[in-house]
A and B are shown apart, each in its own frame.
Chain A
């Protein structure tokens, strides 16, 4: 099962390290990563395999949102199906 992790907010040092470190601790495997910086605005999108994560996806999403608050970013973890559904005919 794959999820999309989206991190947005004001650019800062060590964001990728903190988020990817947290995800790997949870057992998630990052398959793809891309990031853009528009001015001071940072946006990173990761495709993550969460099959080996023990907790439920909703719980992981909640913890990531919490981590986001701590580092001053907004972090979303969403099942990839939502994007496939909304953006493909």
Chain B
């Protein structure tokens, strides 16, 4: 049984500390929708997604009302679309359009899975598919896309890395009237996971059940508030406090996930333990690090504080959920975190420091705006660096970077909503094109051979 203090604590978490379930994401297998033609396949895809996820918005609203905890986003992830259109890759945009239409019909905010998995090599149909991504992102609203360019087991596919550098650039250019928002819906992964509920990188892996509900919890504000109560604690005690807080937050997610899966006739997939910030004041991962004693995120000590935070969140969360998965870690998206935005505006945090931070936390260089004239090969080199960190450390890393058209350091991009706003951050001006143009593969590391 719980005490009155427990009740009041939970309510304070929601009212003052932004506790919420960040997303309920339904994963849907579309493999059964493949037909002879793209047109027919697109029709099947639209019908199936609309049918399976018919009640997702209502269920989320009901659960939110019953448990008194906001459920911010309702989303769908699907089988990587490149697999559906291997026979007609040039017509993949038809499937993309059908998925975007389905998302609109359902009233969900994002649908992920316009994706390709090319971590070892790029098949001809994948190459054609990847080329359609920028245009599709420019002509759809809710569709998100991701490409897995490397893995610990297979190494890094440098041809795919190069293509993704170009894809980010083109996706931004095609949406230049909206600060390049196309690129904000695109992710390049290394070691992509099949059950990630968070966007823009969610897709429904082929190893998954037909229909699955994955839930992403959040609550950086709750963690920060808990730490505020023990300002003089040493870091062992601070880690313990984070664990206990993560446990409570995750328990809420586990309850919602199981109940949502039951009501939606889907399998309960995983709870993703990520601390996901929003641009709202007091809902920031950066501010947790500052509470721990970094004057401004990006300063020396940031990586150490983040490593501790990330690990403690996992330890508390794992205990609280029967199935943990997804990305599970602290997110550090620049544009979606008020503390990060401020640090970037002051020049206190740099791309290099962010890269170091991604060595110890999920997931990667996320929602970072860079000058619009950054060459595609430089973007590819940034992706290669990040993929190398993921490959060597056997973890997921990602890049979601926006080369903001016509903008330079000192300017800002603004997407509104959860995607937030970001000052343009400088990149190194030196040339990396020779490395990128060499092509080939970066071989898998020696420690991946475990059989």
Contact = CB atoms under 8 A, between A and B. Distances in A.
B251 interface: yes
A87 B320 CA distance: 11
B62 A82 contact: no
B4 A78 contact: no
Interface of A: 4, 6, 8, 34, 36, 43, 45, 56-59, 61-62, 74, 76-89
Interface stretch (B7-15, B340-348, B355-363): B7-15
Contacts of B4: 34, 36, 43, 45
Given A43-B4, A78-B68, 12 more contacts: A6-B7, A45-B4, A56-B62, A77-B68, A82-B255, A83-B10, A85-B251, A86-B2, A86-B6, A86-B248, A87-B2, A88-B2
Given A6-B7, A83-B6, A86-B10, A57 B251 contact: no
Helix, strand, loop or mixed for chain A's interface? mixed
Contacts of A76: 11, 68
B316 to A, nearest CB: 11
A88 to B, nearest CB: 7
B308 to A, nearest CB: 23
Given A56-B62, A78-B67, A4 B251 contact: no
A56 B61 CA distance: 12
B64 A58 contact: yes
Given A83-B2, A83-B6, A84-B2, A59 B248 contact: no
Interface of B: 1-4, 6-11, 15, 61-69, 248, 251-252, 254-255, 319
A4 B10 CA distance: 12
Nearest to B65: A58
Nearest to A61: B65
Contact of A85 (B11, B61, B254): B254
A87 B61 CA distance: 23
A80 B6 CA distance: 11
A76 B63 CA distance: 14
Sort A-B residue pairs by CB-CB distance and give the 10 closest, nearest first: A58-B65, A78-B68, A87-B6, A83-B2, A85-B255, A82-B67, A85-B251, A87-B2, A57-B66, A86-B248
